[in-house]
Amino acid sequence: MTKPIIGILPLVDVGRESYWMLPGYMRGCELAGGVPVMLPLTEDPSELSALVRACDGFLFTGGQDVCPETYGAKAPALCGETVPERDRMEAALLPLVLAADKPLLGICRGIQSLNALLGGTLTEDIPALRPSAVDHHQSAPYDRPIHTVSLVPESPIAKRLGKTELAVNSCHHQCVDRLAAPLEVMGTAPDGVIEAVRLPGKRFVWAVQWHPEFMYRVDSDSRAIFAAFVEAAGEAGAD
């Protein structure tokens, strides 16, 4: 059986003018039976179309903040570093992925980008705009859980994991604010921050706010999320 090809959005080091990758994104996909490939940073329509044809699934990784302009904000003072080239790539790539019904998994920035591109908004800085007792930005090591997430009963992720509460790690200062109309919540933190969403009507479009790429070695739930994604990509590749 041919292993599904997983296209992974590149991480960008602006200061060093380089693209790079955390091994956990790749290893999580590999252990689930996929072949991960880091994508180029491109907005070229023909290149993106070729990538959608070549890959069976797409992983929207973490990284810098989503540009506020993506969700109509005009006061970016609370944002950290942004990478407009990556925002433009994701804006051009997402419609192609959805049109082809290729599986997509978003992680951290991935859930934020998905929400913004589908018409939702983001909270630019959690500590300043919605402070709570929940620690959303832990220090290393990042493979330890720091808070819980309540999963919506009967949601696809709850069914896959066989539970309605799980312990997760967390390293973000932004989050979903107004949920994009097409998305459906699958999980929330104790303070109400949206932690997991899906796009109904598609083969597989999940996004989570926590970091399974840091926890996959020690956490069966993280491995199960990668497995669900790669299995869906394998089904797409077999079509």
Q: What is the pLDDT of residue 73?
A: 85
Predicted model pTM: 0.97
Angstrom distances, CA of residue 235 to CA of 3, 114, 202, 203: 10, 22, 13, 9
Per-residue confidence (pLDDT) for residue 75, from 0 to 100: 59
| Confidence (pLDDT) at 76 | 61
Centroid of chain to Cα 132: 23
C-alpha torsion 33→103→101→43, nearest 10: -110
The residues assigned a catalytic role are: 108, 211, 213
Mean pLDDT by 10 residues, the chain (239 residues): 94 96 98 98 98 98 95 80 97 98 98 98 94 96 97 98 98 97 98 98 98 98 98 95
Tokens representing 86 are 């990556």
